[in-house]
Amino acid sequence: MSPYLHKLPNACAALAYLQLKNIEKINNHRRKLTAYYLSAAKKNGWSYPKNINENMTVLKFPIFTEKSNKIRKDLKRHNIYLEDGWTSAVICPKTTNNDALGYCKGTCPEAEKVAKNILTLPTHPTMTMKQAKTLIKHINKYIT
């Protein structure tokens, strides 16, 4: 099967069109959350990719901590879910059979370290600033 999409079903095209009509609003919302997370990361001394700036429209704001799995697990008790199947894995999603793809553990130690220690903070359109502030308060309990 070709990895390229040649036709988009009408229903999918309609959904994509609606998203494109709102892309500036969505991106501005992501920038606002990115700027907030970036400020918190700097203020609290969190480890994050230093090339991120407040004008970026990141899909998720990454921070690095050796406590990432514990934080995700503990946040669930507060109905905060940061596990989306795309973290904790060198090849995503983590349900991928790495052996079938020919990946040998230890081949990419930096990617393995990142996968183990990354915690991604949401910037999606339904994430509110109030929720982001609550999230930051919880994270500060673990890595400040």
The domain spanning residue 99 has which CATH number?
3.90.1150.10
Q: How far, in Å, CA of 118 to CA of 52, rounded?
A: 15
Look at residue 76 and tell me if it is in a domain.
Answer: yes
What pLDDT, on a 0 to 100 scale, did the predictor assign at position 7?
82
Which alpha helices (H) appear in 1-144, and where do they start and end?
10-21, 23-44, 68-76, 109-117, 129-143
Whether 14 maps to a domain, the answer reads no
Q: Is residue 6 part of a domain?
A: no
Q: Is 136 helix (H, G, I), strand (E, B) or coil?
A: helix
Q: Which residues contact 133 (CB under 8 A, 6 or more apart)?
A: 36
Is the pLDDT score of 89 beyond 70?
A: yes
> Is residue 61 in a domain?
yes
Domain that holds residue 48: 25-143
Q: What is the pTM of this model?
A: 0.85
The answer to the question of residue 116 being in a domain is yes
Please, which contacts does 124-132 make with residues 24 or more away whose CB atoms are closer than 8 Å?
124/30, 124/59, 125/22, 125/26, 125/29, 127/29, 127/33, 129/32, 129/33, 129/36, 132/33, 132/36, 132/37
Count of structural domains, the chain = 1
Residue 1 predicted with pLDDT over 60:
no
What pLDDT, in 10s, does the model give residues 31-77?
Answer: 999 999 999 999 999 999 999 999 999 999 999 999 999 999 999 99
